[in-house]
Amino acid sequence: MDRFSDSDMTQLQVEVEGFKISLQREVKEIIQTVTQTQPKVAEVVPVTQTQIVAVNNETIEVSSSTGGKEVKAPLVGTFYSSNEPGGKPFVSVGDTVKKGQPLCIIEAMKVMNEIESPYDGVIKEIKVQNEEAVGFDQILMVIE
């Protein structure tokens, strides 16, 4: 009986010379639940140029060499000149832009951040190529 108790068997029947013994153990199901907790992820909010201007006054500077105002990258990411691959660029050199008009997109961590013009003017120079990696505070464009 001790061997039966110590084993994983739930039922045992033995018959020897007309003597029959049957042992049966109650099966208890153990249900184990495992819960996984997902680490909380900070909510990602797209950054616009106007938000950056309010936080960092050095984002827009007057360029002494070009005479125009520099539009700098507010975050690290990938520069896109249009909103779809092969699409028409938001702006080109010589285009007149209005304050709040989209200039480009910077993708960071799979989030598309639309960069808007901080003021009215004419695009004098675009300093980065489409799909180029850009760093924080890197000059993207010069607006005159």
3-state secondary structure of 11: strand
For residues 20 and 99, what is the distance between their CA atoms, to the nearest angstrom?
96
> What is the chain's Cα-based Rg?
34
Q: What are the backbone angles phi and psi of residue 5, rounded to the nearest 5°?
A: -65, -35
How many residues are listed for the chain in this entry? Answer: 144
Given this model, what pLDDT does residue 141 score?
Answer: 95
- Among residues of the chain, what percentage have pLDDT more than 70? 70
pLDDT at 96 over 80: yes
Residue 66's identity, in one-letter code, is: T
Domains, the chain, ordered by start: 49-143 (2.40.50.100)
pLDDT at 105 over 50: yes
Across all residues in the chain, what is the average pLDDT? 78
More confident residue, 129 or 19: 129
Average pLDDT over residues 58-73: 64
DSSP secondary structure, 82-114, as one string? SSSTTPPPS--TT-EE-TT-EEEEEEETTEEEE
3-state secondary structure of 139: strand
7-42 residue pLDDT tens: 777 777 788 888 888 777 776 666 666 666 665 554
- Among residues of the chain, what percentage have pLDDT more than 90? 51
Determine the longest span between alpha carbons in the chain, in angstroms. 112
C-alpha dihedral sign at 38, 43, 46, 49: negative
Residue 124's identity, in one-letter code, is: K
